[in-house]
Each structure stands twice: as structure tokens, then as C-alpha cells.
Structure 1
Amino acid sequence: MRFAPAAAALSLALVVTSSVGWAGQKAPSPRAAVLIAEGQSALAAGDTQGAIDAFEAALAVDPAHTPIFLRLAEAARADQLQGKAITYYREALNRDPRNLAAIAGEGEALVEKGAVEKAKGNLAKLESLCGASCPETQVLSARIAAGPPVRIQTAEATMPDTSVTQSN
């Protein structure tokens, strides 16, 4: 009986602590929110470097806001920098391992880079977390089915045959 008040207080502390952990993502600071909005509008206008600059400034203002990494990865993918995008997705996953958008985005960037087998690992992780019917799983599955994009080889990338042939 003497332990009942202590046990009740301890269980209350555990409930409050666990509910704070599951409360979700906090909102960004007001200055970071303005920079994120600037970055989104720049990305929508096709200005990927302007978007990256705005997102990096938002990250400097509010380094604890994980969704900024997802925005940076999206801008890097739009700029054809899949390796950099994967780095941003992995940073988001280090902060929140169950972030479905980061898992799916990393998988899509892997497919764009040609690493389809690694992307299938991300698909399996998504299916175990949210099932086959969740939007992230369906988008990544469709991207894997489509395969990596065809790389267009330019004339500058092809070296001409330098061997000399004798004509008769």
C-alpha cells in the first residue's frame, strides 16, 4: 500500500513521456516557415537552386525541423542530384526511422540512380510499416516497375573512333 502513490506517479510520468514522443512533428519556427514557403514557390517555378538556398536557410534557422530535409531532397532530385537527395533522406530517417515520405523518397531516388534492388528494400520496409495500400508504397512500387530512366547520351559524351582505315 505504501508503494501505490509512487507507482501511480511513475506510471503517470511514463504515460506523459510516451505521449510526447508520439505527439508528432512540431511546427517550424515562423522565420523557417517563411523560408520553407519561399523554397516551395521557387521549386514550383523551376528555380531549383533558389529553392535549395531557401531550404538551407530554413535549416539554419530551425535545425530541429526534420521535414526541411525532405524538401531539400525533393529540390536535389529536381536538380538531378540523386546522391545528394539520398543523403538528405537518410538524415531525415536518422531523425525519424518510420518516416514514410523519407523511405519512399529515398527509394525513388535510388531507382532514378539505377539501384533498383536497393529500392526494393525500401519498398519492403514501406509494406511492413503501412501495407501495400498506402500511397507511399503504391508510388514507389510504380516507380520500381517503370525502372530507371533512360540516360540520353550526348554527342560530347561519345568519343569518335580514332582508328585510321585505308581506303582503296
Structure 2
Amino acid sequence: MFKCKCAPQGTLKENMMKLLAVVTLLISFLMIDVTHVRSMGNQDDTTSNPAKKDFADGKSAVYSGRFETAIRLLKKVVAQEPKNADAHNYIGFSYRKIGKLDLAASSYKQVFSINPDHKGALEYQGELFLKLGNLSGANENLAKLEKLCPSTCKELAELKRAIADFTATHGDRKGT
């Protein structure tokens, strides 16, 4: 008669049950770990902090040319974070773009009260000076940027370009 040299039926069944239990346990550990990692990765600062969301949306509005919307959103940011120099800077930029130059100047003044070396505000205020015909003011900001950016930086390059364009059009006339 034929004899099976494999494990008796009872032990195979027991082994299968043990294997199933181990696999189930492993899967449950993996699911817990994945769920934990997912929940950590989904913590979005913009949803947990309204000022960050408004800042991101305001900045996006600036870059898409929706300056009134940007001002509205960024004013909400500075109401919650009065020392947010970047928000004040984008407000000033937006005011300048819609022609509200006094409000732009006031916004840049606020930036400098928070951070006197804010490169973006130095560039944008320099461009405001040019819009007002104040070449010497723009050159003062350029000199500050040259000290802050010994090799070069985007803000320095942009203000240099704006001054070059201004002098090509208006000559070296001083401001009003």
C-alpha cells in the first residue's frame, strides 16, 4: 500500500492556521503603520492655520494679477500675524500695481519696521521710487541690495534692470 511521507493531516491544518494568523497579524500591522503615516503626511499647514492658507492664496493671487483679491487675503494674514513682513510686502506690491502708491509706500514702511533688510521690499520700493520719478531713492535701495547680495540675487538683478529701463527712458533726472 502507498504511504504518504508528508505531515499528517492534522498538523498541516494547524500549520496553515498558524500561517494564516501570522499573515493576518502582519497585514494588520502594516495597515496601522500605513494609516499612521498617511495621517501624518496629510497634515496640511494651510488647513490647520488659516493665516498660512490666506497667505498662500494671497501670494497666488499676486502672481496671477488679481491684486484686489491679494490685498483682501493678505490683510487677513497681517491681522493675525502683524509681523509677517512678506505679507506686508505683497500688499505693498499689489497696491503699487493698482496705482495706490501712498498705500504701497505705507506697506513697505511697515515691512522695514519688521525687517530693515527685506530684499523683496527693497526691490519693490525701489520700483515704486522709479514710478514716482525718484531715481535717487531707487539707487539708495540698489546700494542696500548690493550690500545684502555681494555676488547677486534676484531682487538686485530686477532693480538694476528697472533702473536701467528708467534711465534709458527718462535719463538721469532726479525724482519729483
Judge same fold: TM > 0.5, yes or no: yes
CA contact (8 A) 2:54 2:77 kept: yes
Could you tell me which amino acid in structure 2 is paired with residue 79 of structure 1? I
Amino acid at match of 2:130: V
Residues 113 and 148 of structure 1 are in contact (CA less than 8 Å); yes or no, is this contact kept in structure 2? Answer: no
Q: Which runs of 5+ in 2 are unaligned?
A: 1-44, 170-176
Does the alignment pair 1:85 with 2:85? no
Could you tell me whether the CA contact under 8 Å between 1:112 and 1:148 is conserved in 2?
A: no
CA distance in 1, matches of 2:61, 2:82: 21
The answer to whether residue 54 in structure 2 is matched with residue 35 in structure 1 is yes
The answer (yes or no) to whether the contact 2:88–2:110 under 8 Å persists in 1 is yes
Asked if residue 139 in structure 1 is aligned to residue 158 in structure 2, the reply is yes
What percentage of aligned pairs have identical amino acids? Answer: 27
TM-score (norm 1): 0.65
Which of 99, 111, 120 aligns to 2:139? It is 120
| Map of 2:93 onto structure 1 | 74
Does the 8 A contact of 1:114 with 1:148 survive in 2?
Answer: no
Distance in 2 separating the partners of 1:103 and 1:130: 12
Counterpart residue type for residue 125 of structure 2: E
Between 116-125 and 35-44, the greater mean CA deviation after superposition: 35-44
Between Structure 1 and Structure 2, whose CA radius of gyration is higher?
A: 2
Q: Which 5+ residue runs of structure 1 have no aligned equivalent? A: 1-26, 151-168
Q: Distance in 2 between matches of 1:68 and 1:36?
A: 7
RMSD: 2.5
Distance 1:112 1:148, change over 3 A: farther
